[in-house]
């Protein structure tokens, strides 16, 4: 007899349909798995035989052939253990095959029949909904994740025995209830804990309001990392679509806690500067998400920015510009979303104290030039805000609490985002940073005085066309925070103040690069 069970697989972060077909017929006792199974799938024969015996089923001593269709896509992982076991039982007429119709089955079996939690359940649940399937049978630890998809009834079971009892009708199960979706408790540190650095705080508010990338330059201990870790706390709450996107990426990567539903907090990723190129952008024989995708809808924090390998930094160009990245291999190509806010932090020189008012710099001009030359012009061009910090004075350290907390700043950011959403309604962009050049020309229109100022600075600094667009986006975000629609000279001047490193951190061999950065730092970032 031939029986089939519906299952699924994952390519990249997308699920695809897999039909587990099984034939139990006459012939010598054998168990074959076909359909491009990898080693982990072939090893399921041992797990299935032991699990079915532990569940009290007599394993068929006949010729068993299992086909994983479509046969032209490689199958990997241990998710096919449970559907293969049920398909064998149905083909051997040990359970009614009709009860498995229109049910998507997933699960890894232990030798005693227990079901272990899986990775990538959410993409497969989304694929089930696209197939028109409403019911899923899977490990109990993954039921909440599958139930987060609207229209899916997720039935969680603890072991193979419970799965068999549900199929035969001996064990009635209620589908998993979707988890209550709310903002969740604030787990990010409060911005009020940061003493001083008013200019940097306001820059972070502008960055959060428009979804802009930001680079902070300052000596050790000036608060760069402290500020960066508090940025997610002032970002707007995630929409449902953003939670689905972020959760399926973390699900495929195996980073979701057991029994969790959709993510409630924006991701914050802070990889060490020793990470590889593939770890940053994704890769592998079967491509997996990298840090730029794990930070999707959240923040990617790169501390000690110039210390990252140049190849790794240059790989950020496409995701920063397009919001997605395509990982291509000989057998497949997988697109990964990578729309994140980049927060970079660096010292002004190797020792960190160039331009400091508290300690003397011990670096020579040549070492400073080499240090700054690690950052290419194209990468800096894609960073909207450049902020120079100074060490915090004793008068700020003695204060008991900062002036503004994260909840207050988040309210300002959300109001600015609402203005942007109304302006950008009907377009793929959701904030000012995502505007296309055409949208910048039509929506970010400076008045006559602001245009004159922009022309003057553009020629004097030798800015690129990309810098021109990003300055207008910044100015429009500042206007949104002030509740204005027009870009005046004041908004444009503030935007230019946040681009103070244009023409400073060049990749050429100019002898005054380090001096210019030091001069900016000595002025506390004032332009």
What is the secondary structure of 352-395 as a DSSP string?
S-TT-SSS-----HHHHHHHHTTS-HHHHHT--EEEE--PPPHH
Q: How far apart are CA 506 and CA 527, in angstroms?
A: 18
pLDDT tens digits for the chain (527 residues)?
899 999 999 999 999 999 999 999 887 889 999 999 999 999 999 999 999 999 999 899 899 999 999 999 999 999 999 999 999 999 999 999 898 999 999 999 999 999 999 999 999 999 999 999 999 999 999 999 999 999 999 999 999 999 999 999 999 999 998 875 544 444 788 898 888 888 899 999 999 999 999 999 999 988 899 999 999 999 999 999 999 999 999 999 999 988 888 998 999 999 999 999 999 999 888 889 999 999 999 999 999 999 999 999 999 999 999 999 999 887 788 999 999 999 999 999 999 888 887 788 999 999 998 998 899 888 988 999 999 988 876 666 666 665 688 999 999 999 999 999 999 998 888 899 999 999 999 998 899 999 999 888 888 877 788 888 999 999 999 999 999 888 999 999 999 988 866 544 433 333 333 334 443 443 444 43
One DSSP character per residue, 241-274 reads: HHHHHHHHHHHHTT-SPTT--S--S--EE---TT
* CB-based contact 501:217 (threshold 8 Å): yes
Element (H, E) at 67: strand 63-69
The CA-based dihedral angle spanning residues 123, 125, 128, 134, taken in that order and rounded to the nearest 10 degrees = -170
Q: How far apart are CA 60 and CA 56, in angstroms?
A: 12
pLDDT, tens only, 434-447? 999 999 999 988 99
The CB density around residue 56, as the number of other CB atoms within 10 Å, is 10
Q: How far apart are CA 351 and CA 241, in angstroms?
A: 44
Contacts of residue 112, Cβ cutoff 8 Å, sequence gap at least 6:
50, 51, 54, 159
Q: Which of 141, 168, 172 is nearest to 156 (CA)?
A: 141
* CB-based contact 282:288 (threshold 8 Å): yes
CATH of domain 191-522: 3.40.50.300
* CB-based contact 297:340 (threshold 8 Å): yes
Tokens of 381: 């061009």
Element (H, E) at 328: strand 324-328
Task: Give the C-alpha distances (Å, rounded to integers) separating 458 from 162, 239, 307, 505, 510.
Answer: 70, 37, 30, 16, 20
Tokens of 70: 């479509």
Cα 410–Cα 497–Cα 444 angle in degrees, nearest 5: 70
pLDDT of 309: 94
* CB-based contact 295:269 (threshold 8 Å): yes
2-168: CATH topology: Ribosomal Protein S5; domain 2 (3.30.230)
pLDDT of 501: 67
Task: Give the C-alpha distances (Å, rounded to integers) separating 406 from 44, 79, 270, 448.
Answer: 50, 42, 20, 36
Contacts of residue 311, Cβ cutoff 8 Å, sequence gap at least 6:
277
pLDDT, tens only, 297-340? 999 999 999 999 999 999 999 999 999 999 988 778 899 999 99
Question: Which DSSP symbol is given to 176?
Answer: P
pLDDT of 445: 87
The CB density around residue 172, as the number of other CB atoms within 10 Å, is 7
CA 375 to chain centre: 24
Q: Which of 101, 59, 109, 102 is nearest to 80 (CA)?
A: 109
The bridge status of strand 324-328 relative to strand 333-337 is antiparallel
Domain ranges of the chain: 2-168, 191-522
pLDDT of 178: 84
């Amino acid at each position: 007899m031939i029986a089939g069970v519906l299952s699924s697989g994952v390519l990249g972060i997308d699920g695809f349909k897999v039909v587990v077909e099984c034939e139990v017929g006459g012939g010598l006792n054998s168990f074959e798995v076909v359909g491009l199974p990898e080693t982990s799938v072939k090893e399921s024969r041992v797990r299935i035989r032991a699990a079915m015996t532990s569940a009290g089923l007599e394993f068929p001593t006949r010729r068993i052939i299992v086909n994983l269709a479509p046969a032209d896509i490689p199958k990997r992982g241990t998710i096919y253990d449970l559907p293969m076991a049920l398909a064998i039982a149905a083909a051997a007429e040990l359970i009614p095959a009709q009860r498995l119709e229109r049910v998507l089955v997933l699960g890894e079996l232990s030798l005693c029949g227990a079901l272990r939690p899986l990775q990538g359940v959410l993409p497969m649940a989304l694929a089930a909904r696209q197939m028109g399937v409403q019911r899923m049978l899977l490990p109990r630890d993954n039921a909440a994740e599958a139930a987060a998809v609207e229209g899916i009834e997720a039935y969680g079971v603890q072991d193979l025995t419970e799965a068999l009892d549900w199929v035969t009708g001996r064990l009635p199960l209620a589908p998993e209830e979707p988890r209550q979706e709310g903002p969740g408790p604030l787990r990010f540190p409060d911005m009020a804990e940061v003493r001083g650095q008013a200019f940097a705080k306001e820059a972070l508010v502008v960055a959060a309001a428009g979804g802009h990338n930001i680079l902070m330059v300052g000596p050790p201990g000036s608060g760069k990392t402290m500020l960066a870790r508090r940025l997610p706390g002032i970002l707007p709450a995630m929409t449902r679509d953003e939670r689905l996107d972020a959760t399926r990426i973390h699900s495929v990567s195996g980073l979701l806690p057991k029994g969790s539903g959709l993510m409630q907090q924006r991701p914050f990723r802070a990889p060490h500067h020793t990470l590889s190129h593939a770890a940053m952008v994704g890769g592998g024989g079967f491509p997996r998400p990298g840090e730029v995708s794990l930070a999707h809808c959240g923040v990617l924090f790169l501390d000690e920015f110039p210390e990252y390998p140049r190849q790794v930094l240059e790989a950020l160009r496409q995701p920063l510009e397009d919001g997605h990245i395509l990982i291509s291999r000989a057998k497949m190509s997988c697109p990964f979303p990578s729309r994140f806010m980049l927060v970079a932090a660096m010292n002004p020189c190797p020792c960190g104290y160039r331009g400091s008012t508290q300690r003397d710099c011990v670096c020579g001009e040549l070492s400073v030039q080499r240090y700054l030359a690690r950052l290419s012009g194209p990468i800096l061009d894609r960073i909207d805000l450049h902020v120079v910090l100074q060490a915090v004075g004793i008068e700020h350290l003695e204060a008991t609490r900062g002036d503004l907390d994260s909840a207050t700043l988040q309210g300002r950011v959300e109001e600015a985002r609402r203005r942007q959403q109304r302006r950008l309604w009907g377009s793929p962009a959701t904030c000012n940073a995502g505007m296309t050049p055409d949208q910048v020309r039509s929506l970010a229109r400076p008045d006559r005085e602001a245009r004159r100022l922009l022309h003057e600075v553009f020629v004097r600094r030798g800015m690129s066309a990309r810098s021109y667009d990003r300055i207008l986006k910044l100015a429009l975000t500042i206007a949104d925070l002030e509740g204005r629609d027009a870009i005046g000279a004041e908004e444009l001047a503030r935007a230019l103040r946040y681009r103070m490193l244009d023409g400073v951190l060049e990749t050429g061999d100019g002898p005054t690069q380090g001096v210019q950065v030091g001069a900016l730092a000595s002025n506390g970032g004032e332009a």
